[in-house]
Amino acid sequence: MAVGGGESEIFKSRSDKREYRRIILPNSLEALLISDPDTDKSAVSMNVSVGSFSDPAGLEGLAHYLEHMLFYASEKYPVEESYSKYIAEHGGSTNAFTSAEHTNFFFDINTDCLEEGLDRFAQFFIKPLMSPDATIREIKAVDSENQKNLLSDGWRMNQLQKHLSSKNHPYHKFSTGNWDTLEVKPKENGLDTRLELIRFYQENYSANIMHLVVYGKESLDEIKTLVESKFQDIRNIGRNYLHFPGEPCSSEHLQILVKAVPIKEGHILRIIWPITPGIRHYKEGLSKYIGHLIGHEGEGSLFYNLKKMGWAMSLSAGEMDWSVDYSFFSVTIELTDSGHDHHEDIIGLLFKYIHLLQKDGVAKWIFDELVAICEMHFHYQDKVPPSSYAVNIASRMQLYPPEDWLVQSSLPSKFVPSAIKATLDELSPDTVRIFWESKSFEGCTDSVEPWYGTKYSVQKLPPSTIQQWIEKAPKEDLHLPIPNIFIATDLTIKQVSVKVPYPYLIRKSPFSRLWYKPDTMFFTPKAYIKIEFNCPLSNQSPEAAVLTDMFTRLLMDYLNEYAYYAAMAGLYYSIHSSNYGFQVTVVGYNHKMQSLLETVIDKIKNFEVKGDRFSVIKETVKKEYDNFKFRQPYQQAMYNCSLILDGNVWPWNEQLEVLPHLEVAHLTNFSKHLLSRTFLECFVAGNIETANAEVMVQHIEDVLFQHPQPLCKPLFPSQHLTSRIVKLERSTKYCFSIDCLNPSDENSALLYYIQVHRDDIKLNILLELFALVAKQPAFHQLRSVEQLGYITVLLQRNDSGVRGLQFIIQSTVKDPAQLDARVEAFLKMFESELNKMADSDFKSNVNALIEMKLEKHKNLREESSFYWTEIAVGTLKFDRREAEVAALRDLTKEQLIDFFNGFVKVDAPKRKTLSVRVYGCLHSAEHKQAITEPDHPPKTFGIKDVCSFRRSRPLYASFRGGHGLIKL
C-alpha cells in the first residue's frame, strides 16, 4: 500500500492505519512525519550521519563522547540535564547510540507534552552548551561505560576483528573511547578535549546530513508546523555525506585463522567473508536468501548434520557489520568440546554446503517461499513502541529511497539468480577470515589486542588447506530444505461474539484450568498460548532443578528440526523450566498453531533420553554454570538479592556441584516421576475461538491424563505450589557482602533494596509515583554529579507480588560500602526536594503516571504477558491498571510524603532494607577489612549464610494460596 509523501509515495503494510509524510525543511533537514491518533506515546528520533569512523586520529571515542555531552544543557535550557528531567517527569525515556557512521538520539513522551519535548530536544542541534564543568565528568562516564565492556566477549571479539584489518581504513578504529583516549593522550599532545569536541560538532553536525522522525497523535499538518518551528534553526554547513571506499581488509587480513582466548568457557567458530554490500541490491535479497539456507536447521541442513554428530550447539548466518561501502557475511557456530576437536571437518562441511548451493543453482521456489514469509511478516507485523519504530526508520533513511523507508530490505521482490550466485561465489577460501575462540588456547598465543587485552595468534590459511579439509570432511547427507508446511494460508480474523475486556475462566477440571481472552484490540491472525505444568517434584532439590532444566532443553532439542520450519513461518514455541515446573509457550500465526502444540504435547508424552544428546545438553548446562562467575558484578548482585528473598531458588554453585554426577539413567527415571502428578495452568488469547481453545486443552488432558495408562495424575490438594518471599524486619538493615566471582573484574556493585509491601493498589501507586519522581534526580546526582559509575539506576522491584525499590550501581571509583553511603546521602538530600515540591509539579507527575498506566498494549504478545503475570503470581487483578489510575486521581502530595517518611526515608519506622555488596578486585582490601572488622551500626544485620538466613525469616503469604479453588 502506498501513501502520499510529497513527491514520493511511502509504501506501508496493509494493516497500518498510520499516516506518513516526508518533508524537507529550508535548511535541508529531511523528516518523516507519522500521525497515529491511537497512540498514547509520542516519539522522536534524530539520526546524524556522523559516527565513530569520523573520530580524529588520537581522539578515539570523540563522536561517542559528543553524544553524551549533548544531553547536558543548551543556551535555551541551561540547567544541567533539565531535558532528561523534563522527559522523565512526563512519562518518557531518552537515550542515544553511536555507531560507525551514525549517531542517533531519541526519546518518547506522553502525547500532550510533545511540543516542549521537541523544543528541548532540538536545542541539541542548535546551541548546546557543552560546559567546561561537565567535560571531565562525562569523560569519566564514557570511561566507566568502557570499563563495563572490558570483560565482555562480544566487545572483545568485535574489536579483535577490527584490529585485524587495514590500519588505513576507519573500520580498524577503537570506537567507544576511554579516559586515556579522551583525557590523558590529548593532554600529552597539547590538545584541549573540550575545544576539539566543539570543533568536531561545528565541522560535522549539519542539517543536510540529519534525518528526523516525529511520531505523534496530531495531524500531519500539525506535526509539520511543529517540526518547522523547532528545527529550522539547525544550521546547514553543506556537509557532504562521508564515504569510506576501499575494503577494510587487505590481503594480509584474508586467508587467516585466528585463535583467540575468550573470557567465558566455550568454543565458537566465526567464519567471515568480505562481500559486496547487500544494501546495493536490497530488493534482490541476496544475503537473506543465502543466510536462510546456510542458517537453516531442518533435516539435511549444515546445522542438522553438525548437531547429529554432536559437534554444534547453535549456528547462525547472515550479513553483519555492513554499510554502503563494505560488508561481511558471517557464519557463527557454537561448538561442543567434540566439535572443537573437529574444527577442520566443520569448516570443510560448511564449504561443502556452499558448493552444494553453487552447484544446484538458485532455486526459485525457495526464493518465492522466502518472499511469501517476508510479505506475511511485513503486512501483519506487530506494533512496537513508537520510540523503537522511530529509531528503526530514522537510522536507515539515508540508505533507502523515501518510498522504502518503512519496508527497507524486509521485502525482497526481484529474483535475480545471477546476483545471488555472485554473492555465493564471494564465500570463497580465497577471502575467508576464521576466528576461533576457546579458553583452551590459553598459553598458546603470541599477540595481545591493545584496547581490550584479548590474547590471540594468527596463522595463514591457504585455500589448498581448506580444500584438504573439504575432501576429508565426513560424507554427510547435505541437501536443501523441503517446502515449509507451516506457512499460514488462512489469515481470517475470527468474529468475537462477546467482547470481554479481560481474561476469564472458561474451563476447569481436576487436571487443568483454562483462562481465555479473545482478541478485541489488534485484529491480526495471531494467537498466544501459555501452559504451565505445575510439577511438585521439579524443584525439590538442586538435582531436581537441574534435571527439570535438562528435560526441557532436550524437548526443545528433539523438536528443533521440525519446529524450525514453524519459527521461519512466524510460529514460535518455547519450553523452559519455571519456579513451579515448566512452561510451554506457543505464539504467532494461529492457522497451524494447533498442529504444532499437539506435536509438542506428543513429544512430552513419549519423552525418552537419547544418550548422545544428553551429553551435549549436559555440556551446555555445565558451561553456563561455569560462566556464571563472568556475569557483570551488578548482575551478580541482582542474582544474590533474588537468592536471599526467594526460598524456592537453589544456589547456582549447588546445581553446578551435582551436575557432573547426573547421567542418562537419572533423567530417565526422573522424567517419569516429574510428570506423575501435575496440574496445567492454561491461558489462550488472540484469534482463537472459545470452543477451539477448549478443544486444545481437552486434547492435552486426553493425551496426558485420560489415557488407559496415564502419564499424569492430578495433584493432591496439598501439592499445589506457591512461591513465598522472605519478609524483612522493620527498622533493620541487612547486609550481604561477597567478592566478585571473577577475580579479574575491577568493577564493584551495590544493590540497595527497600522492601515496602505485598501487592496493594494504594501502596503500589505511591511506590510507583515515588520511583517516577526520584528516578531522574537519583541518576543526576549519583551518576552525573558524583560519577559513581555508568550503571546507576533506580528501579521498582516485584518478587511474586512483594514490591519495593532498588538502587543499582556498578563502579570502579568507590567500594560497595561507600556506594551504600552515597545512596543514603541522596535519600537524605532528596527528602527536602520532596517536601518542597510544588503542587503543580506533583500534579504533573501524577498525570504522567496516569498516562503511562493508560498506555495501550502494543501487540498481542505484550498484552498476554501482562495478563499471564497476574495468573502466574496469583493476584488475578486483570483490571489492575484501571484500579490504580482511579486511586491515583485521588492521591495527594501529603500522602506521597507520608509514604516516603514511613517506608523510604533513611530512619523511617517501617523501613526494611537489604544491601547486597559485590566487591571487585580494586576493592578486595576493603572487603577483607569489612569481614575482619565488621562495623555494623545499630539495627544492622550482616548475612553470613544465605540459606540459613532464609530459613530463619518469616515469609509473606503467597497469592497462589487459593490455587484451584476458583469456581466457574
3-state secondary structure of 314: strand
* 759 conformational bin, left if phi > 0, alpha if psi -120 to 50, beta if neither: beta
* Beta-sheet pairing, 42-48 with 210-216: antiparallel
CA distance 927 to 921: 10
For residue 74, what is the DSSP state? B
Q: Look up residue 157 and give its three cell numbers.
A: 571479539
- Those residues whose C-beta lies under 8 Å from the C-beta of residue 64, and which sit 6 or more positions away, are 52, 98, 142, 175, 176, 177
CA distance 402 to 400: 6
Instruction: Return the active site residues.
Output: 67, 138
Give the burial class of 392: count Cβ atoms within 10 A of its Cβ; 0-12 exposed, 13-18 middle, 19 or more buried. Answer: middle
* 917 conformational bin, left if phi > 0, alpha if psi -120 to 50, beta if neither: beta
**DSSP letters of 899-948?**
HIIIIISTT-TT-EEEEEEEE-GGGHHHHHHHHHS--PPTTEEE-S-HHH
CA distance 47 to 793: 26
3-state secondary structure of 48: strand
Q: Which CA distances in Å does 235 have to 23, 66, 127, 204, 315?
A: 17, 17, 10, 11, 47
Query: Of all helices (H) and strands (E), which one includes residue 269?
Result: strand 267-275
In DSSP terms, 83 is beta-bridged to none
CA 149 to chain centre: 16
CA distance 101 to 51: 4
CA distance 266 to 631: 15
User: Considering only CA atoms, which of 52, 143, 145, 56 is closest in space to residue 98?
Assistant: 52
Residue 874: what residue type?
G
Q: Look up residue 366 and give its three cell numbers.
A: 525457495
Q: Under a CB-based contact definition with an 8 Å cutoff, are residues 82 and 10 in contact?
A: no
Q: Residue holding cell 468475537?
A: 496
- Those residues whose C-beta lies under 8 Å from the C-beta of residue 839, and which sit 6 or more positions away, are 893
CA distance 386 to 393: 11
| Dihedrals phi, psi of 54, to nearest 5 degrees | -90, 0
- Those residues whose C-beta lies under 8 Å from the C-beta of residue 790, and which sit 6 or more positions away, are 141, 144, 145, 147, 148, 783, 810
CA distance 11 to 18: 12
CA 335 to chain centre: 24
Q: Residue holding cell 522523565?
A: 88
C-alpha angle 150-151-157 in degrees, rounded to nearest 5 = 85
| End-to-end CA gap in the chain | 46
Number of H helices, E strands in the chain: 32, 27
CA distance 353 to 303: 10
For residue 265, what is the DSSP state? S
For residue 408, what is the DSSP state? T
Give the CA count within 13 Å in the CB-facing half-sphere of 421.
Answer: 11
CA 747 to chain centre: 22
User: Considering only CA atoms, which of 580, 573, 574 is closest in space to residue 548?
Assistant: 580
* Beta-sheet pairing, 732-739 with 940-942: parallel
